[in-house]
Amino acid sequence: MADQKIRVGLVEDQLLFRQGLKAILANLPNVEVMFESADGYSVVDKLTACPELPHVLLVDLSLPPNGKTEYNGMQLTNDITLRFPDIKVMILSVHNDDSLIAQLIQYGAAGYLVKDCNPQEVYDAIQSVHTKGSYINEQSLKAIQNNLGKRHKPKALMASLNLTKREVEILQLICQQNTTEEIAEKLFISAKTVDGHRNNLLQKTGSRNTVGLVLFAVSQNLLLK
Amino acid sequence: MADQKIRVGLVEDQLLFRQGLKAILANLPNVEVMFESADGYSVVDKLTACPELPHVLLVDLSLPPNGKTEYNGMQLTNDITLRFPDIKVMILSVHNDDSLIAQLIQYGAAGYLVKDCNPQEVYDAIQSVHTKGSYINEQSLKAIQNNLGKRHKPKALMASLNLTKREVEILQLICQQNTTEEIAEKLFISAKTVDGHRNNLLQKTGSRNTVGLVLFAVSQNLLLK
DNA sequence: TAAAAAACAGGTAAAAACCCCTGCTTTTAC
DNA sequence: GTAAAAGCAGGGGTTTTTACCTGTTTTTTA
């Protein structure tokens, strides 16, 4: 198992970059490049035809469009991880966009590398993705932290607002697109009372209108699914 | 630099576990345990008094309360990472709760380990956190992926709805708590026109009212920050 | 170039927002 | 243990905003 080579696939449109990467990886003792593609469209087909699937797929984030429709590394990542859950997708990109990184992780990417990293880092990443299941470096972690829900200290905020149970209850019903009267019926109280609670909510949350209430509820994870 | 020892701090209430961990780490050549605490309350004070800050802080997630108030590893992580950004906080926990892991990462934790891992993994984690800035293993990555919003192909949904640019623009302004008239002023069009767009949005998204529009925008990540 | 889609706009009724207010019950604090 | 505070329920009325309908003009696109 430890001596078995890590099967690596490359998805990268620039021929030179792809060849260079292949050359670098060829020098590594326990890595074998056994798959490559210049665009995203044919990858799934090629993989289904493979006798052995690659362990790790290095995917360029900016893949070329096919005529009109675009099929970039993000979409490919999503499709690959859904159809081949065992393949670890490692994104290569020139950019370093936080929200993009977070989204890629969300779409199932196992790691993210900028293209100007050194070869050793590529090797570490492949190794880490294969053995640990992921390769998250500091910048990726920061990206994740910045995009892992925007709620900073929800408990503190909630506590300071001091919403009552009834208010939370009504807020949740508002967020389910109920009108004031519908809420009143469901809670067996007067519509006027609901209106009063709604106004308290507006005041307590500092909202201008229902939109603000919904955004608040979302930020505080108060939504019932 | 490479020969310099990694300074490690322990925050763990169980004496036996803390001592055991210290003994394990003492065997490692490039690790030095130079700080320890049995609860969360005194950590910040102790750290400010330190001549040299630890590189890595191993923190037990379930720290004991002080009388009435609770101060657990989550809160400690939040405080430490805010006040000492250079210290990498590594969480130790018996549980393996996805949403908890994600929240900890969000609060600034650099890694998460379950307590029944083997000593080698602790060493790897410390090493990784110190050199790479983070240690995210497969279960942590899964936790992150599960908590980075829901994974249901926003683009596909968006495409099928076919919102126009103008509609998206107006939806975003609605989500900023603007009234129809304010939006009209900002876009130099009639309020009636904005209203028309709003109605198209209601129809296209299948919403009953503005609340539905906001929830849709949130689900599609259409909010401008 | 014809059809489709988008942008625009007016009228009307319903709902929400925003004020004012009175009681009653429960919780909290001194 | 009593007083104060907070939560809850209810009411009246006005103004603003939204929801829903209709239609026309402009822009896209097949």
**Could you read off the pLDDT of B4-57 as tens digits, one per residue?**
889 999 999 888 889 999 999 998 889 999 989 888 878 877 887 788 889 999
Q: Cβ B141–A149 below 8 Å, yes or no?
A: no
Distance from residue B223 (CA) to nucleotide C16 (C1'), in Å?
Answer: 23
Asked whether the predicted pLDDT for residue A9 surpasses 90, the reply is: yes
The mean-pLDDT minimum among A108-117, B78-87, B105-114 falls in: B78-87
Note whether B215 contacts A: Cβ–Cβ < 8 A.
yes
Note whether B224 contacts A: Cβ–Cβ < 8 A.
no
The CATH code of the domain at B154-219 is 1.10.10.10
What pLDDT is stored for residue A164 in this prediction? 78
Q: What does the pLDDT look like over B135-177, one tens digit per residue?
A: 888 888 888 877 765 433 444 445 445 677 788 888 888 888 8
What pLDDT is stored for residue A221 in this prediction? 72
> Bigger pLDDT: A126 or B155?
A126
B26: phi then psi, degrees, rounded to nearest 5: -65, -25
Q: How many CA atoms lie within 13 A of A120 on its CB side?
A: 0
Question: Cβ of A104: how many Cβ atoms within 10 Å?
Answer: 26
Q: Residues 6 or more apart from A160 whose CB is under 8 A from it? A: none
List where CATH 3.40.50.2300 sits in chain B: 6-147
Ramachandran region, residue B74 (left: φ > 0; alpha: ψ -120 to 50; beta: rest): alpha
Question: Strand D footprint at Cβ < 7 Å?
Answer: A 162, 164-167, 187, 189-190, 192-193, 195-197, 209; B 174, 179-181, 191, 195-196, 198-199, 202, 208-210
Question: Cβ of A15: how many Cβ atoms within 10 Å?
Answer: 9
Q: Cβ A141–B141 below 8 Å, yes or no?
A: no
Q: What does the pLDDT look like over A163-174, one tens digit per residue?
A: 778 888 888 888
B39 contact to strand C (CB, 7 A limit): no
Asked whether the predicted pLDDT for residue B215 surpasses 80, the reply is: yes
> Could you tell me the strand order of the sheet in which B88-93 lies?
B31-37, B6-11, B56-60, B88-93, B111-114
What pLDDT is stored for residue B159 in this prediction? 45
- Separation of alpha carbons A110 and A86, rounded Å: 11
| pLDDT above 70 coverage of chain B, percent | 87
User: In whole numbers, what is the pLDDT of chain B averaged over residues?
Assistant: 81
What pLDDT is stored for residue A55 in this prediction? 93
The CATH code of the domain at A6-147 is 3.40.50.2300
Search chain B and give the residue with CA nearest A148.
B148
Residues of A whose CB is below 8 A from B140? 134
The mean-pLDDT minimum among A139-148, B88-97, B179-188 falls in: A139-148
3-state secondary structure B108-154: CCCEEEECCCCHHHHHHHHHHHHHHCCECCHHHHHHHHHHCCCCCCH
Note whether A107 contacts B: Cβ–Cβ < 8 A.
yes
A contact test, residue of B89, B117, B137, B144 with most A CBs within 10 A? B144
Asked whether the predicted pLDDT for residue B178 surpasses 80, the reply is: yes
Could you say which residues 103-162 of protein chain B have a Cβ atom less than 7 A away from any atom in strand C?
A: 162
Q: Which nucleotide in the DNA or RNA is closest to residue A191, CA to C1'? A: D10
B20 contact to strand C (CB, 7 A limit): no
For nucleotide C8, the protein residue with its alpha carbon nearest to C1' is B193
- Separation of alpha carbons A37 and A73, rounded Å: 12
Asked whether the predicted pLDDT for residue B220 surpasses 80, the reply is: no
Residues of B whose CB is below 8 A from A211? 174-177, 210-211, 214
The mean-pLDDT minimum among A28-42, A118-132, A148-162, B190-204 falls in: A148-162
B57: phi then psi, degrees, rounded to nearest 5: -120, 115
Q: Cβ A175–B144 below 8 Å, yes or no?
A: no
Write out the two tokens for B124: 């790897």
Name the residue type at position A77.
T
Residues of B whose CB is below 8 A from A83? none
Nearest CB to A102; choose among B148, B211, B218: B148
List where CATH 1.10.10.10 sits in chain A: 154-219
Distance from residue A67 (CA) to nucleotide D27 (C1'), in Å?
Answer: 25
Q: Cβ A136–B134 below 8 Å, yes or no?
A: yes
Write out the two tokens for B13: 């209430």
What pLDDT is stored for residue A187 in this prediction? 81
- Separation of alpha carbons B171 and B31, rounded Å: 54
Ramachandran region, residue A200 (left: φ > 0; alpha: ψ -120 to 50; beta: rest): alpha
From B185's Cα to the closest Cα of chain A, the distance in A is: 18
